[in-house]
Amino acid sequence: MTVFGHRIPMMASLLLWALVWEVVGRLGLVLLFPPFTEVVAALFTVVPTQSFLDAAVITVVSFALGMALAIAVGVPLGALMGRFTAVDQFAGMWVNLFVSAPLSALVPVIMLLFGMGTATVVVTVFLFAVWIIALDTRAGIRHVPPSLVEMAHSFGATRWQTASRILLLAALPEILAGIRVGLIRGVKGVVVGQLLVSIIGFGALFELYSRNFLMAEFWALTLVLFAFALLLSGLVSRLEHRIAYYAGVRQS
Amino acid sequence: MSKSSAAMPLPRNHVEVEPAEPVVEVRGIVKRYGTQVVALDGVSLAFRAGELTSLLGPSGCGKTTLLKIIAGLMQPTAGEVLVRGRIVAGPGPDRAFVFQDFALMPWATVLRNVAFGLELKGVARDQREETARRHIARVGLAGFEDRYPHQLSGGMRQRVGLARALAVDAEVLLMDEPFSAVDEQTRRKFQEDLLALCREERKTFIVVTHSIEEAVYLSDRIVLLSPRPGRVSEIVVPEIPRQGTPDEIRRDPVYIDTVEDIWRGLRRYVE
C-alpha cells in the first residue's frame, strides 16, 4: 500500500482501525465498544484463566475433529465427482445446495440428533467446511491435464496408482484452496455451533460475557478467534504458495 | 524415390538377420465416434524394427488417433493391433509414448519424472534412479536431475519426456508430434538427435507429425493419411542420402522433390 508516495506496511491499516476503535470507545458513544486498550487489557486477564483454557482446548479439539472429518470426506467425494459423471449427477446438486445454504439454521436439528455436546459442534464444523472442499477438489480433478492421466496409463499405472500419484497431486492446488476456505468456514462453524449449544467452549464464554455485559472480555475473545482463523488461513496459503507453480505449468 | 501401397522397404540401417514378422502391425483399424464421425476407416500397416515411420496428414486425418490406438490408450471400433504377432488390447511395456505436451509431472524432479515408468513397474529406487540418470545424460540433460519441469525450456522438457520413454526400454517408441511445442532451432537439433538415436538402437519408431519437411527429413517411410474418413492414401519412401550433414540433406534435390511431391498430394485436402 502506498499513500502520498510513502510505502506503508499492511499492518498500518490495522493500527488505524485500532485507533478509530480507541477514539470511539473513549468517547463512550456506544456502550458495546469499550476502548481498544481495554479490550487488549482484557485479553491478558481472560487468556490465562482456567475457563478460557478449557474452552480453548475443547474448541480446538472439536474444530480439529470436524475439519479432519471434512477433509477425509470432502476430498474423496470431490475426487469421485470430478472423475465420474454418475457421482457428479447424483451428489452435485446436494453439494451445490449445501455450499450456499444457511447452515446455521440446521444446527438446532443437529443438536436434536447429536445432543448438547461436542458431537454437535464437530458435526457443525464438518457441515460448514465439507462442501467447499468437495467442490474445489472436483474442480481440481477436472482440470488435471488428460495427457498426464494418459501418460500414467501408457506406463501401466493401475487405477489406484493413477489416482494417488497423478490425480490427487495434480489437483493439489485446488484441493488446498478448498481446504483454506473450508478452514475459515470451519471456524465459523465452531463458533456458531458452540454459541447455539452455548454450554460448551467459547460459546459458553461468549454467552457469559454478553449476558453480564463484559464487553471488553467479549471483544477480547473475538480477537482471539479472528487471529486463530487468520493464522490457519495464512498457514495454508503459505503451503499453497509453495506449490503455486503447478497451476502455471498447467496453462502451458 | 519409390512409392508403394503394400511393399515394405528395407530399413535405413538394416543389419544381419531381419525378423520375418513386423514388430507392430495394425489390421483393419476402424474408429468411429458416435454413429456419424469416422476417424479411421480400415487402416492396415506394418512397422519393422530399426525403422522410423511417420504418420503424416492434415488435421482430422486421425493420425494421433491411430497412434493412441497402437499405444493402447484408445480402443478401436474394429480391427486389431499386434505387437510381435500378439494381439494387444491396452498399453504394455513393449510400447512407450512421448507426448505432444510432454505430460511431465510438475511436482516431480526431472529424475523422478524420468524414473516414473520404472516406479510404476515397482523397480527398486536405487536401480530405477540409476537407469534414469543414464538416460537423462543420454538426452543431454546431465546436471538437471534435480530441477523441476517449470525450470526447464520447452525443448528440455521434451527431452525429459523422451528420456522417460527410453528408460523403460520399450521396443516401440510412439511419438505424438513431439516437436510441435518447441521452437524451430530446438526442433532441428532434436530431429538430429532422434536420427542418431535411431541409428544406435534397433527400436521401432512411429512418429506423428504435421510437418512435411520433418517427415521427409526423419523417416524411412512416410504414411500419408487422408482425412474424413482417415485412410492410408499413400506410402512414401524418401530415398535421401543420409551420409551428408543436415544442411546438405535439406539442399538435396531428392529431399526437395519429395517434400514437393507430398505437398502436391496433400494440397487438395487443405483447399
Which of A149, A154, A240 best probes binding to B when mutated, by most B CB atoms within 10 angstroms?
Answer: A154
Residues in B touching A151 (Cβ below 8 Å)? 97, 99, 103
pLDDT tens for B38-57 read 888 889 999 998 889 999 98
Could you tell me if the ipTM is greater than 0.95? no
- Please name every residue paired with A65 in a beta bridge, in sequence order, or none if there are none: none
Q: Using the predicted structure, report yes or no on whether residue B17 has a pLDDT greater than 70.
A: no
**Nearest by Cα to B207 from B188, B220, B192:** B220
Q: How far apart are the first and last CA of chain A?
A: 32
Taking a C-beta distance cutoff of 8 angstroms, is the pair B212, B259 a contact?
yes
Q: Using the predicted structure, report yes or no on whether residue A235 has a pLDDT greater than 70.
A: yes
Q: How far apart are alpha carbons A202 and A193 in whole angstroms?
A: 10
| Yes or no, beta carbons of A169 and B105 under 8 Å apart | yes
Which of A148, A150, A155 best probes binding to B when mutated, by most B CB atoms within 10 angstroms?
Answer: A155
Amino acid at A213: F
Q: How far apart are alpha carbons A128 and A70 in whole angstroms?
A: 9
Taking a C-beta distance cutoff of 8 angstroms, is the pair B196, B140 a contact?
no
Q: What is the 3 state secondary structure string of chain A?
A: CEECCEECCCHHHHHHHHHHHHHHHHHCCCCCCCCHHHHHHHHHHHCCCHHHHHHHHHHHHHHHHHHHHHHHHHHHHHHHHHHCHHHHHHHHHHHHHHHHCCHHHHHHHHHHHHCCCHHHHHHHHHHHHHHHHHHHHHHHHHCCCHHHHHHHHHCCCCHHHHHHHHHHHHCHHHHHHHHHHHHHHHHHHHHHHHHHHCCCHHHHHHHHHHHCCCHHHHHHHHHHHHHHHHHHHHHHHHHHHHCCHHHHHHHC
Domain with B154, as residue range(s), is: 104-169
In angstroms, the separation between the Cα of residue A154 and the nearest Cα of chain B is: 5
pLDDT tens for A131-183 read 999 999 999 999 999 999 999 999 999 999 999 999 999 999 899 999 999 99
Q: What phi, psi does B217 have (nearest 5°)?
A: -65, -40
> pLDDT confidence of A247, banded at 50, 70, 90?
low
B113 domain residue, yes or no: yes
Percentage, residues of chain B above pLDDT 90: 39
**Nearest by Cα to A129 from A82, A173, A77:** A77
> pLDDT confidence of A77, banded at 50, 70, 90?
very high
pLDDT of residue A87: 92
B227 domain residue, yes or no: no
> pLDDT confidence of A245, banded at 50, 70, 90?
low
What does the DSSP 8-state code read for residue B234?
E
> Number of structural domains, chain B?
1
In angstroms, the separation between the Cα of residue B148 and the nearest Cα of chain A is: 10
B45 domain residue, yes or no: no
Question: What average pLDDT does this structure show over A107-115?
Answer: 87
pLDDT of residue B52: 92
Amino acid at B116: F
In angstroms, the separation between the Cα of residue B66 and the nearest Cα of chain A is: 15
pLDDT of residue A3: 64
pLDDT of residue B1: 47
What does the DSSP 8-state code read for residue B1?
-
Element (DSSP H or E) covering residue B258: helix B253-270
Residues in B touching A172 (Cβ below 8 Å)? 107
pLDDT tens for A10-65 read 677 888 888 888 888 888 777 778 888 888 888 888 888 888 888 889 889 999 99
Look at the block and give the residue holding cell 478452514. A183
Give the CA count within 13 Å in the CB-facing half-sphere of B45.
27
> pLDDT confidence of A246, banded at 50, 70, 90?
low
Among A148, A161, A172, select the one facing B103 at the smallest CB separation: A148
Question: What average pLDDT does this structure show over B106-119?
Answer: 93
Mean pLDDT for all residues in chain B: 85
Residues 6+ apart with CB under 8 A from B67: B55, B174, B176, B206, B208
**What cell does B101 get?**
505436451
Q: How many beta carbons lie within 10 A of that of residue B89, not counting itself? A: 10
Question: What average pLDDT does this structure show over B243-268?
Answer: 83
B42 domain residue, yes or no: no
Taking a C-beta distance cutoff of 8 angstroms, is the pair B38, B65 a contact?
no
Q: How far is CA B84 from the centre of its chain?
A: 18
More confident residue, A241 or B114: B114
B207 domain residue, yes or no: no
B35 domain residue, yes or no: no
pLDDT tens for B199-231 read 888 889 999 998 888 888 888 899 999 887 888
| Yes or no, beta carbons of B101 and A155 under 8 Å apart | no
B115 domain residue, yes or no: yes
The predicted model scores a pTM of 0.80
Secondary structure (3-state) at B19: coil
Q: How many beta carbons lie within 10 A of that of residue A226, not counting itself? A: 11
pLDDT of residue B7: 44
Secondary structure (3-state) at B192: helix
B191 domain residue, yes or no: no
Q: How far apart are alpha carbons A156 and B165 in whole angstroms?
A: 12
From the number of C-beta atoms within 10 Å of its C-beta (0-12, 13-18, 19+), residue A1 rates as exposed
Cα distances from A128 to residues A29, A135, A141, A193, A223, in angstroms, run 36, 13, 22, 10, 21
pLDDT of residue B82: 92
pLDDT tens for A184-213 read 899 889 888 888 887 788 888 888 888 888
Cα distances from A86 to residues A135, A155, A240, in angstroms, run 15, 27, 30
Among A148, A154, A248, select the one facing B105 at the smallest CB separation: A148
Question: What average pLDDT does this structure show over B125-130?
Answer: 93
